[in-house]
Amino acid sequence: MADWKFVEYQSLAAPEDRSAFAMGPFGSRITKEDYVRDGVPVIRGTNLARGILDGEFVYITEEKADEVLSANVFPGDVVFTHRGAIGQVSVVPRRLGYSRYVIDSSQLRSRLDPARALPEFYHYWFRSEAGRRSLLTHTSAVGGSGMAAPLTSIRTLPVPHPSMAEQEGVVAVLGALDDKIAANSRILAATRELALAHYDRAVESADAVRVAVGSVTSALHRGVTHRYTDAPDGVFLLDQECVREGRVITESARRALREEVDAARILQRHDVLVTSYGAGTLGRVARWTADANAVPGARLLTVRFAPELTDPLCAGFAMLRAQPRIEAMAEGTPRQTGLRETHLAALELLLPAYAHRAALRATLEALENRADHGQAESATLAELRDSLLPQLMTGRLRVRDAEAVVEDAT
């Protein structure tokens, strides 16, 4: 596989599609005012942060999506971030997804010829070190936050073009790991829904207690800015992209210099994180359940419940249930939206009666421990995938040998 020939990416475009490469609409064509509760999901940079299409979507109506047809994407399309977090790439899933999506103004998409190119293979290529480096070389010299001539830059990228059989082999190996990770994600979601259902039943009684967040906390503060480090012993530095679907995902987290981190700000088990900035991401809530050292960045608020005042686990679930109300606390303009600590401190939570908390805690803890195990397994599988990826793409590892490694792991 080391002798794969390289071609321009545009040479693999779908031949019948005259707009095989297209950018998202100008920002004014889709604004926050267009978002609805359900409809066609909009792909933003935050949905590509982990290399797969996931996270919490915002939606627009079918009619609005029809107004921006060139920005519509479908299963099998490859989506790139061209402004902001350059280097992000994902493929629109063929299974368990929506029939169509719309990309926002910071994304562009490519549509490939299915007879010559597997989009999943090129998704993995652009996630490899060599593929990502090719994307980053097109960062604009002015400002450095976007690609120079994005469409031309993506079209002319050199990419390997192995046979379809070789592409299928690589995708089968890496896809098996991603499939297992996706299955774990579904289990995590189901486990959390079950836990929330138990919580909801516990607070239905007339003796449920209402408290303000600030009255039962030992700490409620905003994160601070830290310098990044590549040192493996650095402390995880979390940002709003790490807060997803009620959990904290450290895969995309940077690291901070350990000696510069205030020990009092290192997260403790049962701390709650709330995203405090940005339209579409503000108000997300997640519980911290890991043993790793991590510190929140400046766009996150940390809520630490005092065990002598309340049960931190039950209070954490109360925060999860309060997410829609927290999202509604946003202040500012669509471009500059924020959440004040004082407003979060005044938020009223509904907690189960004291007599019910011990039994509820045992149930919630068992479910959360099961989910934590699945999340840890997914992290291990992701590390294996990321270690196999460059070896497969450079020919240092044969597909058949990689298959054996994956079989042992799954």
CATH, residue 238: 3.90.220.20
pLDDT of residue 61: 96
pTM above 0.95, yes or no: no
The Cα 159–Cα 12 span in angstroms is 10
Q: Is residue 202 part of a domain?
A: no
Name the strand (E) or helix (H) holding 23: strand 21-23
Question: Distance of CA 386 to CAs 2, 128, 263, 340, 381, Å?
Answer: 18, 8, 31, 38, 9
Q: Is residue 199 part of a domain?
A: no
Q: Dihedral of the CA atoms 150, 104, 54, 295 (nearest 10)?
A: 80
Q: Are residues 51 and 15 in the same domain?
A: yes
Q: Are residues 174 and 38 in the same domain?
A: no
Backbone phi, psi, residue 398, to 5°:
-80, 155
Tens digits of residue pLDDT in 85-126: 888 999 998 876 789 999 999 999 999 999 999 999 999 999
Q: Is 55 left (phi over 0), alpha (psi -120 to 50) or beta?
A: left
Tens digits of residue pLDDT in 290-300: 989 999 999 99
Backbone phi, psi, residue 67, to 5°:
-75, -20
Which is higher by pLDDT, 395 or 384? 384
Tens digits of residue pLDDT in 23-50: 999 877 888 889 998 999 999 988 887 7
Q: Are residues 30 and 152 in the same domain?
A: yes
pLDDT of residue 361: 96
Q: Are residues 96 and 77 in the same domain?
A: yes
pLDDT of residue 279: 67
Q: Are residues 69 and 49 in the same domain?
A: yes
Q: Are residues 169 and 147 in the same domain?
A: no
| Mean per-residue pLDDT, 340-356 | 95
Q: Is residue 201 part of a domain?
A: no
Tens digits of residue pLDDT in 268-326: 999 999 999 876 678 999 999 998 999 999 999 999 999 999 999 999 999 999 999 99
Q: Is residue 215 part of a domain?
A: yes
Domain boundary among 307, 335, 351: 351
Q: Are residues 220 and 347 in the same domain?
A: yes
Expressed as residue numbers, the domain containing 300 is 209-351
Q: Are residues 77 and 100 in the same domain?
A: yes
Q: Are residues 138 and 254 in the same domain?
A: no
The Cα 41–Cα 61 span in angstroms is 9
Q: Are residues 71 and 124 in the same domain?
A: yes
pLDDT of residue 55: 72
pLDDT band at 59 (very low <50, low <70, confident <90, very high): very high
Given a contact cutoff of 8 angstroms between Cβ atoms, the answer to whether 30 and 42 are in contact is yes
Q: Are residues 40 and 94 in the same domain?
A: yes
Domain count, the chain: 3
Q: Are residues 245 and 338 in the same domain?
A: yes
Range among 96-110, 134-148, 196-210, 247-261 with highest mean pLDDT value:
196-210
Pick from 48-57, 136-145, 185-194, 373-382: least confident: 136-145
